[in-house]
């Protein structure tokens, strides 16, 4: 695994000057992934925040081959490119070793693109799919998605006199993908660089499809100061809202168990989308959210290999 100094010496394959918001975790995720992947890679990108901020015509921030697709079909597009590549290698036209990465937000992955993703995984294409999960349709105005947490305020499930935000819990997409029986599946965040880059390397070397679900805090949709992105991501892990784990050839492994599991309140209270939790009646919402986090954490503990307890 490459050290931080080694990664820092590599070419940055996503240039500065893009239009992503200050404090956005998404571009940090992409930069770290490309530092591991290198130049011999083809990237597909679903319509969403990443596409609109990095490819405003006639400019592009990408220094690798890049394909923009519709919201729903980036997995299908990259699986087609990977198939063409295998055919050209078989014919002797190409002999270079290449990798293929698809990027999609939670809207284009949890919801609109899940059919194409499931099909690509079932067919067994050697490709990495990365979901940068900012927990709503941020590009089009902070509408709720299948990744939006329980009772979060969004423009389509707004908090008001008749509503306490999204009434459903977020979909467990990582478990859904793992159920496909592919070689490698993992959850991580941009704030845990070693965990992220190690998992990217494993995913790219997997003999078949691989998937990374990367928590991507959003300043606009989550409503927090732009200098707190790393702290917000770390608190998601320390509260066990977003566990760091991997499923390698069907075997679950936790990568970090907090030395002291923090209450969900430590993460919730820093985000404006949950400010109604601290008004009359909000105690019940917080208790319900905490109970679901605890339930999912205990389920994950029950099926996973355990690392040494750690907090960093």
Cα–Cα distance measured from residue 242 to residue 275, given in angstroms and rounded to the nearest whole number: 20
- Which region among 106-115, 192-201, 213-222, 300-309 has the lowest average model confidence (pLDDT)? 300-309
Whether the Cβ atoms of residue 46 and residue 70 lie closer than 8 Å to each other: yes
- Whole-number pLDDT of residue 310: 52
Give me the torsion for CA of 182, 173, 112, 206, rounded to 10°. Answer: -30
Q: Give residues with Cβ within 8 angstroms of 157, minimum separation 6.
A: 144, 148, 163, 165, 166, 167
Q: Is the pTM of this model over 0.95?
A: yes
d(CA 221, CA 135): 8
pLDDT tens, 70-108?
A: 999 999 999 999 999 999 999 999 999 999 999 999 999
- Distance from the first to the final alpha carbon of the chain: 19
**Mean pLDDT over residues 137-155, rounded?**
98
Residue 223 sits at the vertex; the CA angle it makes with 219 and 226, to the nearest 5 degrees, is 40
Across residues 134-157, what is the average pLDDT? 98
Mean pLDDT, the chain, whole residue set = 96
Quick one: pLDDT at residue 203?
A: 98
What tens digit of pLDDT does each residue of 170-217 get? 999 999 999 999 999 999 999 999 999 999 999 999 999 999 999 999
Q: Which residues pair with 163 in a beta bridge?
A: 160
Q: 312 pLDDT exceeds 80?
A: no
304 band by pLDDT with thresholds 50, 70 and 90: very high
With cut-offs at 50, 70 and 90, classify the pLDDT of residue 308: low
Please state whether beta strands 159-160 and 163-164 pair in parallel, antiparallel, or not at all (unpaired). Answer: antiparallel
The mean pLDDT of 210-228, rounded to a whole number, is: 98
Domains of the chain: residue spans and CATH? 8-303 (3.40.50.970)
Q: What is the pLDDT of residues 36-48, one digit of tens each?
A: 999 999 999 999 9
pLDDT of residue 309: 53
d(CA 241, CA 148): 12
Whether 173 contacts 167, CB under 8 Å: no
């Amino acid at each position: 695994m490459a050290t931080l100094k080694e990664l820092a010496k590599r070419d940055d394959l996503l240039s500065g000057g893009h239009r992503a918001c200050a404090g956005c975790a998404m571009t940090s995720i992409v930069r770290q992934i490309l530092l591991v992947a290198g130049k011999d890679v083809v990237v597909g990108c679903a319509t969403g925040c990443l596409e609109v901020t990095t490819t405003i015509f006639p400019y592009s921030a990408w220094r690798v081959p890049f394909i923009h697709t519709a919201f729903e079909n980036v997995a299908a597009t990259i699986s087609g490119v990977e198939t063409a590549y295998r055919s050209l290698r078989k014919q002797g036209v190409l002999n270079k070793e290449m990798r293929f990465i698809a990027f999609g937000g939670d809207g284009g992955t949890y919801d609109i693109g899940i059919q194409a993703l499931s099909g690509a995984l079932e067919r067994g294409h050697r490709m990495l799919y990365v979901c940068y999960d900012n927990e709503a349709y941020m590009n089009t105005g902070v509408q709720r998605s299948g990744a939006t947490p329980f009772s979060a305020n969004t423009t389509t499930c707004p908090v008001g006199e008749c509503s306490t935000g999204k009434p459903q819990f977020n979909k467990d997409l990582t478990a859904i993908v793992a159920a496909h029986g592919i070689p490698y599946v993992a959850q991580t965040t941009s704030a845990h660089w070693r965990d992220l880059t190690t998992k990217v390397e494993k995913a790219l070397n997997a003999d078949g499809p691989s998937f990374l679900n990367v928590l991507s805090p959003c300043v606009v949709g989550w409503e927090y100061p732009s200098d707190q992105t790393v702290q917000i991501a770390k608190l998601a892990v320390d509260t066990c809202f977003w566990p760091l784990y991997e499923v390698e050839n069907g075997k679950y492994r936790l990568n970090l168990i907090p030395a002291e599991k923090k209450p969900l309140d430590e993460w919730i209270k820093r985000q404006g989308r949950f400010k109604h939790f601290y008004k009359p009646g909000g105690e019940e919402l917080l208790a319900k959210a905490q109970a679901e986090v605890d339930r999912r954490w205990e389920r994950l503990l029950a099926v996973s290999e355990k690392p040494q307890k750690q907090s960093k």
